[in-house]
Amino acid sequence: MNYMKELNAFREYVLRFHLPTSAVVLWYTLMQINNSTGWKQRFEASNSIVNQLCGLSKQSVANARTVLIEKGLIDYTPGKKGVAPIYQMLSVLDQLPYATKDTYTSTNAEPAQEENINPNTNNDPSFDQCEDEKWNKPKEIPKQKESKSEEDAFVFMKLILVC
């Protein structure tokens, strides 16, 4: 599953077909959880975590989940006491009309290059996480010299605070 293609396709899906806001929020939340699990085909997500991340009540999550299941956007296996429910994200591309689907699928002769955004994923297009080194390094902010008037204002403010 290509994360960016699915996000774009879902946006298109929401524009074309009505979905309740709670279903939209749940879908994005489940995508986020799936991303954090490393894109497993099926993943566990406890109701309490889903509720907390969605900001929805238990009943709203249950209703939204039913809508997503009926639309063919997710698969769901209820949990048991002490065992979290299991979710599977189904491709939104499969739910779009053929003409729209073409917008999100590559007709390029080299689709692997387009899908493999991160060179550290060992060429596995199903693992689309953005963990570029440049995002993990703090940026250095160059110091600027303060003008004489800024220095005077700073000294004046110190005097006011001291008095």
pLDDT on residue 116:
40
- Scanning 37-108, the segments in alpha helix (DSSP H) are 47-54, 58-70, 98-104
Instruction: Give percent of the chain above pLDDT 70.
Output: 60
Please, which pLDDT band fits residue 20 given cuts at 50, 70 and 90?
Answer: very high
User: Is pLDDT above 80 for 139?
Assistant: no
What's the CA gap between 94 and 101, in Å, rounded? 8
What kind of fold does domain 3-121 have according to CATH? Arc Repressor Mutant, subunit A (1.10.10)
Query: What mean pLDDT is predicted for residues 85-114?
Result: 65
The overall average pLDDT reported for the chain is: 74
Handedness of CA 124, 127, 128, 133 (dihedral sign): negative
Please, which pLDDT band fits residue 113 given cuts at 50, 70 and 90?
Answer: very low
pLDDT on residue 88:
96
Please, which pLDDT band fits residue 3 given cuts at 50, 70 and 90?
Answer: confident
- For the chain, which residues make up each domain, given as ranges? 3-121
